[in-house]
Chains A and B, each alone.
Chain A
């Protein structure tokens, strides 16, 4: 049901590089799971409100007041490649 091209397309959307072997197994496994999941596709749910949140909550507000937040050093402390107070990354354009 899900073919190789679809797997590669979705992998690209998800920013995941899959090995040749993973592409093969993923196609089979996803198809199997989706086959099960597709049972709900056949249900007549016309007019049923979708549930995105289970607790009845109105907008939750707080006063818009400044308060202390994470320091610059702490925010950068776990970065793989911090430089000059920023997160350094490879160029978005291949050389």
Chain B
């Protein structure tokens, strides 16, 4: 029998439901694994070693690692920031509650870029997370702790959030599956806000089936988030075996020179694989996608500067011991509580929204957003999916891009357009590639995007492709989560 830690969530849930595996034993095994975290993936772990007996529900007894951006009643929640050090939320986020209602239990809270601002997890106030494939490299961000926990065998599945790529990019860099659902598919209630018109939570898992299982529990309308609508018809486990009759669109604007050679090779091999499965490759036009980064780095900081105004040392979180008046207390608290990237984005957003600049920046960016959404609508009139590499490179070195904020932002080039259009997109591991400059091969993610609320179709297509790629079988000996191999 496989080690229980080698089981996927779907396999474990089936065994638990059939009473072949005890939920307590399973949770205990994961609790022990999580305790050995040497990737700095967790900021906080629950201290009980096992959940209460016999938990009903489709995820009964399944432990889940939750990004520290989700409020969890009575459990520390920092969003990776010093300004929320010691904060104990008085309520639990809707997404976490839904997992709980399905029988899953929180295993711990995972490390992240402060307030989800970053693509490398190096912006956490609590230290960087290490990539389990190569500990000198970043796991991606901002859900880097969640991705590293799943890829490193410290959790069977995790919850993350994606504003411009923060689920898909770390999933790609860590060799796992990451799904950003349609904006509105899952409630944002209790999810600490970064950019409210873009934020959406989703699962990080070892395979597509597990992502579907979590989405089944997560999606739905919530009266506490009036922008949530759920997914009409719900979600079931995918089972499709071929891709016949499906059209995959490759943006003709995909600038080949912006993609590392190794990543490009895996991408092209995956396109061939799609054709072998009966799918058709077509070229589509996304002429405005190249402006995605510019629009995103106006809209997201603008909304963040407004959302982060609440951290002022009055109602919760830290307060600087400043002498002087109220204004000085605000300024000193925020100076001490926020890290460099958060300050940079607050400044950028405040500038973009300030008198005289609003139309030129925020207004213009919102129009670009319309154009990008129209590009996708046009593409989906011709194809079923739009595909790109998830990230232009494999995992890069710790410290490699921290000196240049703009270079870091360009990591999100392929993931930001889908966020602006609000459509669902998934990253699945497609193979390994050597980093530029040489070294051991690292995972490459393949991104598939679908029209709004077409998650079931997206999961079916991804499932068929995933089975054909066989990533977890082909690179078995290198995968960190396979127990007994490279868990060093």
Question: Do A60 and B226 have beta carbons less than 8 Å apart?
Answer: yes
Question: Do B335 and A50 have beta carbons less than 8 Å apart?
Answer: no
Question: Do A41 and B409 have beta carbons less than 8 Å apart?
Answer: no
Question: Do B347 and A54 have beta carbons less than 8 Å apart?
Answer: no
Q: Whole-angstrom distance between the alpha carbons of A90 and B347 in the complex?
A: 25
* Residues of B59-96 whose CB lies within 8 A of A: 87-91
Q: Can you name the residue of chain B whose Cβ is closest to the Cβ of A87? A: B314
Q: Nearest Cβ in chain B — how far from A77, in angstroms?
A: 6
* Residues of B243-262 whose CB lies within 8 A of A: none
Question: Do B369 and A50 have beta carbons less than 8 Å apart?
Answer: yes
Chain A binding surface SS class: loop
Q: Can you name the residue of chain A whose Cβ is closest to the Cβ of B324? A: A94
Q: Can you name the residue of chain A whose Cβ is closest to the Cβ of B349? A: A14
Q: Whole-angstrom distance between the alpha carbons of A91 and B324 in the complex?
A: 8
Question: Which stretch (B269-277, B356-364, B379-387) binds chain A?
Answer: B356-364
Q: Whole-angstrom distance between the alpha carbons of A78 and B354 in the complex?
A: 32
Chain B binding surface SS class: helix
Q: Does B338 contact A (CB under 8 A)?
A: yes
Question: Do A22 and B343 have beta carbons less than 8 Å apart?
Answer: yes
Contact bitstring B361-373, A, C-beta under 8 A = 1, else 0:
1011111111101
Task: Kindly identify which residue among A11, A39, A40, A89 contacts B326, using a CB–CB cutoff of 8 Å.
Answer: A89
Q: Can you name the residue of chain B whose Cβ is closest to the Cβ of A53? A: B197
- Given contacts A11-B347, A41-B364, A78-B316, whether A91 and B370 have CB atoms under 8 Å apart is no
Q: Nearest Cβ in chain A — how far from B163, in angstroms?
A: 13
- Given contacts A54-B183, A87-B314, A89-B314, whether A37 and B227 have CB atoms under 8 Å apart is no
Question: Do A50 and B366 have beta carbons less than 8 Å apart?
Answer: yes
Task: List 17 A-B pairs, Cβ < 8 Å.
Answer: A13-B354, A14-B305, A16-B346, A17-B334, A22-B343, A26-B343, A30-B351, A33-B297, A37-B361, A40-B368, A50-B363, A50-B366, A57-B229, A78-B316, A80-B318, A90-B326, A93-B325
- Given contacts A54-B197, A92-B326, whether A14 and B294 have CB atoms under 8 Å apart is no
Question: Do B318 and A16 have beta carbons less than 8 Å apart?
Answer: no
Measured between beta carbons, the chain A residues less than 8 angstroms from B334 are 14-17
Contact bitstring B282-312, A, C-beta under 8 A = 1, else 0:
0000000001011101100000010001001
Q: Whole-angstrom distance between the alpha carbons of A63 and B406 in the complex?
A: 47
* Residues of A5-41 whose CB lies within 8 A of B: 6-7, 10-11, 13-19, 22, 26, 29-30, 32-34, 36-41
Question: Do A54 and B295 have beta carbons less than 8 Å apart?
Answer: no
Q: Whole-angstrom distance between the alpha carbons of A30 and B334 in the complex?
A: 19
Q: Nearest Cβ in chain A — how far from B225, in angstroms?
A: 10
Measured between beta carbons, the chain A residues less than 8 angstroms from B234 are none
Interface, chain B (partner A; CB < 8 A): 87-91, 182-184, 197, 223, 226-227, 229, 291, 293-295, 297-298, 305, 309, 312-319, 322, 324-332, 334-335, 338, 340, 343-344, 346-348, 350-351, 354, 360-361, 363-371, 373, 405-406, 409, 420-422, 452
Interface, chain A (partner B; CB < 8 A): 2, 6-7, 10-11, 13-19, 22, 26, 29-30, 32-34, 36-41, 43, 45, 48-55, 57, 60, 62, 70, 74-75, 77-81, 87, 89-95
Measured between beta carbons, the chain A residues less than 8 angstroms from B184 are 54-55, 57
User: Sorted from nearest, which 7 A-B pairs have the closest CB atoms?
Assistant: A54-B422, A50-B366, A80-B319, A78-B316, A60-B226, A17-B331, A45-B367
Q: Nearest Cβ in chain A — how far from B463, in angstroms?
A: 26
Q: Whole-angstrom distance between the alpha carbons of A93 and B325 in the complex?
A: 6
Q: Whole-angstrom distance between the alpha carbons of A92 and B312 in the complex?
A: 14
Measured between beta carbons, the chain B residues less than 8 angstroms from A7 are 347
Question: Which of A6, A7, A51, A80 has the most C-beta atoms of chain B within 10 angstroms of its own C-beta?
Answer: A51
Question: Do A54 and B331 have beta carbons less than 8 Å apart?
Answer: no
Q: Can you name the residue of chain A whose Cβ is closest to the Cβ of B308? A: A14
Q: Can you name the residue of chain A whose Cβ is closest to the Cβ of B90? A: A74
Task: Kindly identify which residue among A16, A43, A75 contacts B343, using a CB–CB cutoff of 8 Å.
Answer: A16
- Given contacts A36-B406, A43-B291, A74-B90, whether A30 and B371 have CB atoms under 8 Å apart is no
Question: Do B351 and A92 have beta carbons less than 8 Å apart?
Answer: no
